[in-house]
Amino acid sequence: FLGSALAARASMLAPDVAELPAAPTERERERDGRPSDEDGSASMPDASAAPASACPPFRQCSFFLARKDRCCRMEAARGSSLCAQHGGSGRVACPHCSTSVAACALTKHMRKCPAATQQRERDAQPWHVPGTNAAPVAAAAAATTAQRAPSLAEFSAAELARALAAVDAALAGEGWDGELQGGVRRPTCAERLLADTAAGRAIGGGDGHVPQLQRKHATQTASVLGHMLERSVLAPRRRPAPPDGKMQQKEIVCVELCAGRGYLSMMVAQGGPKRFVLIDRQVFRNKADRSLRALGCSVERLKADLRDMDLRKVAALHNRAAVVVGKHLCGVATDYSLRCAVALAEAEGERVLAGVALAPCCHHRCLFREYVNVGLLHKYGIDERLFQAITKLSSWGTTATPSGGSCEGEGADEGADGEGGHTLTPVAGTAVAAAALKLDEAARIAAGVRCKRLLDYGRLQWLRQQLAQKSGCRCDAELVKYAEATMSPENRLMLAA
């Protein structure tokens, strides 16, 4: 048995002569210029080595992929150092998914491109109105020049000093330099979401599927709900109904902007609303939609950019009262959200704005042309250059706390964002600018907080004026603190009912 096994092994290792290339014919020798043997027969190739043409060397594509920090691993095309994907002649990138396709096949690719299909479906929706929430000046300038905010290091010490002086003058002139009212609230209806269990926080009922809630964020959203309940933002609204004009109670619909996974809506659902419209321009996993449906709520998700969102054309808001909410609306998204909510503020109509609860953040991403209350800025001599300096200085209010506590914040270099787009990394040039202004850490943080307060109070003033003008009645709008700075330095909430 051992002998037969060794023989079989030897036969497997022996070269297979039948698989060797056949001897070239006379015509092939004449074509290739190969010499023939004296007896007229061609020499057989060496069985110990295959011809060089059978094993050409592998030439890797030299295109460098910055996202993967390596070169492309595809084989380079003949006569080129790049593969067909990165160096093929006549190839272009799809404007929707960036896939490299042949120029002649781009039209065919666009018909089946998933990103292009989603955009066509979104553009066909009645609520998609390009630039409806953009400022008129910004919409006109968007087609000509790109808005690039300079870095903090590009401002001189004199410009930064002028910016801080303008902030202090505006806060004192408008009476906004006092202490913010409010604090942490813990409503009774939110206790089952705040309860600690071994398996995480869970909601009873339904199929038991509940996304994990971090205690820090659950405490903040519960406090937002508590402030909304204190000011009757979620209270039912009664409006005259045609044709007899009798008073009719309208159902509350919670519209969450920049909804993300929808955790804020899951907390607001504990306060009574049963209808929710969640709007975000991205798609998220582990959403709270299933948990909301398990509670008997109606949930509709819309993938849209707030710049192009017209809530007046959303079918779910027909003959209902909308409460617009949002937590951590980054930069210019807060201005888009305010314009989006004000569009619903009609004294008489099928769609009614019942209340607003927006928590802004990331003030370093605000844009002068998109800011809602430009009149306030002009009143105190703040031009675009000073506004950009103020937005950069606002990041100082979230990079640390005087007590050294751990907190979340934004204020950082682009590309260094951590979870949720917020970091604790100081923006480049902070140490040099603070030293030039002779500010220690506590004074630097206080200066950043004042910059944020001015931007938020300016937005609140604009919201109060717009609601009073459109509804014809007095509007209760205020800026409150819903969390301690040690928990989150972005702790301001704009409320209107």
Cis ω before 360 (30° cut-off from 0): no
Model confidence at 66, pLDDT cuts 50, 70, 90, reads confident
Find, among 299, 449, 465, 472, the residue nearest to 361 by Cα: 449
| Residue-averaged pLDDT of the chain | 79
Supply the pTM of this predicted model: 0.75
What dihedral angle (degrees, nearest 10) is formed by the CA atoms of 89, 90, 95, 98?
Answer: -30
Instruction: Quick: pLDDT tens for 371-384.
Output: 999 999 999 999 99
Best CA proximity match to 363, nearest among 340, 332, 323, 406 = 332
| pLDDT(168) > 70 | yes
258 has pLDDT over 60: yes
Band (198; pLDDT cuts 50, 70, 90): very low
What pLDDT score was predicted for residue 55?
Answer: 57
Q: Which amino acid is at 375?
A: G
Q: Residue 139 has what pLDDT?
A: 53
What spatial distance separates the first Cα and last Cα of the chain, rounded to whole Å?
Answer: 93
Mean pLDDT of 232-253: 72
Question: Phi/psi of residue 173, each to 5°?
Answer: -70, -30
Residue 222 pLDDT > 50: yes
User: In terms of pLDDT, which residue wins out, 53 or 466?
Assistant: 466
Q: Confidence class of residue 41 from pLDDT cuts 50, 70 and 90?
A: very low
CA trace torsion 283, 284, 290, 296 (10° rounding) = -60
Q: Rounded distance, CA 278 to CA 259, Å?
A: 6
DSSP letter (8 states) at residue 203? -
Q: What are the beta bridge partners of residue 249?
A: 238
For residues 133 and 370, the answer to whether their CB atoms sit within 8 Å is: no
- The answer to whether residue 216 scores a pLDDT higher than 50 is yes
Q: What is the DSSP string of 58-106?
A: P-B---EETTTTEE--SBPPTTSSS-HHHH-TTEEE-TTT--EEEGGGH
Residue type, 326: G
pLDDT band, very low/low/confident/very high, at 208 (cuts 50, 70, 90): very low
Residue with tokens 């002028």: 162
Instruction: Return the CATH fold of 152-202+212-238+249-399+426-496.
Output: Rossmann fold (3.40.50)
pLDDT number for residue 149: 75
User: Which residues is 278 bridged to in the sheet?
Assistant: 256, 301
* DSSP code, position 438: T
Share of residues in the chain with pLDDT > 90 (%): 37
> What digits encode the pLDDT tens for the residues 396-455?
988 754 344 433 333 333 333 333 444 456 677 888 898 999 999 899 999 999 999 999
Does pLDDT of 285 surpass 60?
yes
For range 336-351, the mean pLDDT: 78
Confidence at 176, pLDDT banded by 50, 70, 90: very high
Distance, in Å, from the CA atom of 484 to the CA atom of 482, rounded to the nearest integer, reads: 7
Token readout for 176 is 């906004």
Choice among 6-10, 151-155, 266-270, 332-336 with the minimum mean pLDDT: 6-10
Percent of the chain residues past pLDDT 70, beyond the cut: 72
Give the pLDDT score at 297: 92
Say what the pLDDT of residue 47 is: 44
Is the Cβ–Cβ distance between 252 and 275 less than 8 Å?
Answer: yes
Q: Lowest mean pLDDT: which of 18-32, 146-160, 250-264, 338-352?
A: 18-32
Tell me the pairing of strands 91-93 and 100-102: antiparallel
Domains in the chain: boundaries: 60-88, 152-202+212-238+249-399+426-496
The pLDDT of residue 54: 55
More confident residue, 335 or 32: 335
Alpha carbon 159 to its chain's center: 31
What average pLDDT does the segment 307-318 reach? 91
Predicted pLDDT of residue 199: 38
Three-state secondary structure along 117-140?
HHHHHHHCCCCECCCCCCCHHHHH
Going by C-alpha positions, the residue among 460, 448, 462 that lies closest to residue 490 is: 448
Contact 344, 322 (CB under 8 A): yes
More confident residue, 119 or 163: 163
Asked if the model's pLDDT at residue 118 lies above 80, the reply is yes
Q: How far, in Å, CA of 329 to CA of 211, rounded?
A: 22
- Give the single-character DSSP code of 23: P
pLDDT at 366: 93
